[in-house]
Amino acid sequence: MSDSLPRIWIITDPDHPDGPVAPLREALEGCPEGLVGVQLRAPGASGRELTRWGRELRAITERAGCALTINRRADVAKIVSADGVHLPERGLRPSVLRAHWPELGMIGASRHDGDGLCEAERDGAHYAFLSPVFEVPGKGGPIGIEGLRAAIDDVGIPTYALGGITAEALRQLLDAGAHGVAIRRAIYGSAEPRETLRRLLRELDKHLPRVE
């Protein structure tokens, strides 16, 4: 499964002035296939809004050769033909989702410590986000590089570092054992989302030269 997973996940920001779709349309233009995934996350959005955004993002990600997951909503994932669902730590268990929607190829889980990662692995998640690695306003104390390393040391599923991620930190995160990174502010807070993503991809290519 890890061979088919992206190395960079972009989590949407529905509060961006241009909405969650436009910055991604720009960022993914000309993006190498298979390296980037998009998670549609929009707390508080209606099912109608999620479906509309999901369809728009499905069209964009298909053209770019990128994976698409929907946060929480397996029903919306099926409607828009997404690749999977991402579950928050207090949401449905991955095993429940797999039992009822076996056709979903990717099931991700958000976790905040090593015990949570181990639980997600036992419960059948295909991958996990671990956060916050670096400082993020309102998200509690960061675990740092060494905290990341310790948390994923005995975990078998691919784990992504989330929280305050920059291109400059990518090498340390990969060296610590992260499969990749998950980002939001890096894209939605950038005046040039396409160049921001390219900078991350260039760093990724330096440290994973086998990835084309």
170-184: per-residue pLDDT in tens? 999 999 999 999 999
Strands 180-183 and 8-11: parallel
Residue written as token pair 């890890």: 2
Determine the pLDDT at residue 102.
85
Cα Rg of the chain (Å, integer): 16
Per-residue pLDDT of 145-158, as tens digits, reads 999 999 999 899 99
Determine the pLDDT at residue 141.
86
Strand partners, 143: none
Determine the pLDDT at residue 212.
41
Query: 36: closest CA among 156, 190, 196, 168?
Result: 196
Determine the pLDDT at residue 138.
74
Determine the pLDDT at residue 4.
84
Determine the pLDDT at residue 208.
77
Q: Which residues contact 185 (CB under 8 A, 6 or more apart)?
A: 13, 164
Encoding tokens for residue 91? 């949401």
Mean pLDDT by runs of 10 across the 212 residues of the chain is 86 97 96 96 96 98 97 96 95 90 90 96 96 85 95 95 95 96 96 96 82 42
Query: 101: closest CA among 72, 128, 68?
Result: 72
